[in-house]
Structure 1
Amino acid sequence: MTVSAEALHIVCPHCHTTNRVRVADMHSRPDCGQCHKTLFDGHPLALDSDSFDRHIGRNHLPVLVDFWAPWCGPCRMMAPAFEQAAQMLEPQMRLAKLNTEEAQAIAARFNIRSIPTLALFVGGKEIARQAGAFRSAADIAQWARSHL
């Protein structure tokens, strides 16, 4: 995927439309051209089987995905830190969560064997993975930034 020095493709977390956003406008809370909602709200995006490939493949931003399940204690313990990490990392990175119970085919496709697992995607390709819960938002942010 070629990234323009002037504009990036950003997939809307609300309507899943791909938007072209000037790099200079990234920190000024850009809105979606389709639904007019903000493209960055400081919260992880809940992905599902229908939206996963669109967000991973069409975003020019790196996408950090938390593969989790509702019954997983460590997943629930890490959730507040992941939420805080979204506030720290946006708009340079999109954070998303994928419930592996609801999207079992995607979890199988990426060979997710333990949860929580964080996977960092750039240009539609996985570039880093870490199984196990992080203790803090700062640890999540540091890990993600270290792989870019």
Structure 2
Amino acid sequence: MSQSLKITCLECGAVNRAPSDKLGAGPKCGTCGARLMDGKVRELDPATLQKASKTDDVPLIVDYWAPWCGPCRMMAPEFQKAAQSMSGVARFAKINTEDFPKVSMKANIRGIPALILYQKGREVARQAGAMPAKSIEDFVRAKSQTIS
């Protein structure tokens, strides 16, 4: 029997439950109908980041970035490739540290781009610096508590 996992909708902020064996089938939010595991990178606001990082059972990898950061802009397409490759396994999101400096201060971000992996209500791992898609995928697989 599959276990029920909590997943926060990154569009409306509603917390949903989905069976672990159905994540690849594209579950939708019961409130707004948005896809919960669609392989796209979502821009987050602080409230949604807070809720998802504290609630979700599914791995959530967040890219802390800024528009003026060259390595951040270079990594963006690689981050999107990794998100598509890991659709149904993990979710990918970004937060703009220039728009939300308090978030990066609270997360103790010292340099960008910085990736933080959240799962089951806590930070699981972090990695600084630009990385290719394969390295991002390897990082998520190695540090996640539920995927291999």
Structure-1-length-normalised TM-score: 0.91
* Offset at residue 23 of structure 1 (A): 1.9
Verify: 1:144 aligned to 2:110, yes or no. Answer: no
Aligned to 2:124: 127
Residues 26-41 of structure 1: matches in 2 within 5 Å? 26-41=23-38
RMSD: 1.4
Aligned to 1:12: 9
CA distance in 1, matches of 2:37, 2:143: 22
Aligned to 1:101: 98
Structure 1 gaps, min length 5: none
Structure-2-length-normalised TM-score: 0.91
Aligned to 1:49: 46
Verify: 1:114 aligned to 2:111, yes or no. Answer: yes
1:43 counterpart letter in structure 2: K
Structure 2 gaps, min length 5: none
2:51 counterpart letter in structure 1: R
Structure 1 runs, 4 residues or longer, greater than 3 Å off: none
| Count of residues in correspondence between the two structures | 144
The percentage of aligned residue pairs carrying the same residue is 41
Kindly provide the CA deviation profile for residues 26-56 of structure 1, in whole angstroms up to 9, marking residues without a partner as x.
Answer: 1211111111121122111211122111111
Give the secondary structure class of the aligned counterpart of 1:38.
Answer: coil
